[in-house]
Amino acid sequence: MEDKRWFWILITAIAPIAWGSTYVVTRNLLPADAPLWGGVLRALPAGLIVLLIARRLPTGSWWWRSLVLGILNVGGFFVLIYVAGQRLPSGLAATLMSTSAACMMLFAWALLRQRPTLAAAGGAGIGIIGVVLMLGGGAGAIDGWGVAASLGAMVASSIGFVLTVRWGGDVPALPMTAWQLLGGSLVLVPIAVIFEGAPPALTPAAAWGFTYVTLIATAVAYVAWFAGLRRLQPTTVGIVGLLNPVTGVVLGVALAGEAFGIAQGAGLALVLVGVALGALAPGLSVKRRAKVPANMSDNRRAVTVSTVAVPTVP
């Protein structure tokens, strides 16, 4: 069972690593001042590709749930992260998003009643300390709108991911990904037309950039992420998401020549420690008691209550 858990942690890690690379791609390849069309061009093709593979449409309440989750996880998220990618250095934008580990932990506690273990909370706390160090480690001037966009994206996606766990236990990762990407696109297209007019003309570099973010950082990444959410606790998934800033910083330094000082190095090391500690944490530390009829015998009541403990391995 533990081997399978580590397997799904590694699968889930594909997503934050791919997302961490979008900052440097957005800043250096994609057209500026087109965040709405940028979100559409990223989500719509990816959603259609995954839907063709999944071959399954929503039913019942999943029509409106797909729209809600699409707005949180795709529509609003992609626009805000596009703005952050254009206004902030890659490492800083990815670092701010890493606070989603703690945010997902809090929302999972509030919405799913999943209290984090001490190790998971410690891993998130160490990671956030690393975030603070990296923010003060040579990031240069900080754009306020970029920071607001990054934090807004973090809150929206954290709520969306926890609701995905709450609603989507019986939906496989492929259709779940397709429905949310297309739901977010349906909301974005008319807004993009109203506020930005026609889609931006794409240079060869922008075309390559959108191809990458569509196929790898969206289609592949979201399937991996939702697969992880189906099999791991949101707390664990959120801490694995700390690999996002690691990727953003490494690529920002290697490809964009961004500053990297001692404080950023120390912060990066703490983030990695936080990921390792959180991934080692077991599942839930809280057990729930079932409601047992009053007329049931004492022996049967004991057996019933003992079988409803929340498992510690997702």
Residue where the block lists tokens 């209290």: 115
**Residue 303 lies inside a defined structural domain of this protein:** no
Q: How many domains does the chain have?
A: 1
**Residue 304 lies inside a defined structural domain of this protein:** no
**Residue 314 lies inside a defined structural domain of this protein:** no
Alpha helix stretches (DSSP H) within 136-285: 144-167, 173-196, 204-214, 221-231, 234-240, 243-256, 262-280
**Residue 309 lies inside a defined structural domain of this protein:** no
Tell me the C-alpha to C-alpha distance, in Å, between residue 34 and each of 79, 80, 286: 9, 11, 45
The boundaries of the domain holding residue 32 are 2-283
**Residue 297 lies inside a defined structural domain of this protein:** no
For the stretch 186-245, pLDDT in tens is: 999 999 999 899 999 889 999 999 999 999 999 999 999 999 988 888 778 877 887 877
Average pLDDT over residues 36-53: 94
For the stretch 97-134, pLDDT in tens is: 777 777 887 888 888 777 777 777 787 788 778 767 76
**Residue 313 lies inside a defined structural domain of this protein:** no
For the stretch 228-270, pLDDT in tens is: 988 888 778 877 887 877 787 788 778 767 767 777 778 778 8
Does position 299 have pLDDT exceeding 80, yes or no? no
For the stretch 140-184, pLDDT in tens is: 567 888 888 888 988 898 899 899 988 977 889 999 999 999 999
Q: Can you give the pTM of this predicted structure?
A: 0.76
**Residue 311 lies inside a defined structural domain of this protein:** no
**Contact (CB, 8 A) for 81 and 218:** no
What is the CB neighbour count within 10 angstroms for residue 295?
Answer: 6
Average pLDDT over residues 293-301: 47
With a CB cutoff of 8 Å and minimum separation 6, the contacts of 242 are: 16, 98, 101, 127, 271, 272, 274, 275, 278
**Residue 294 lies inside a defined structural domain of this protein:** no
What is the CB neighbour count within 10 angstroms for residue 172?
Answer: 14
Q: Report the run of H or E that residue 155 belongs to, with start and end.
A: helix 144-167
The DSSP letter of residue 198 is S
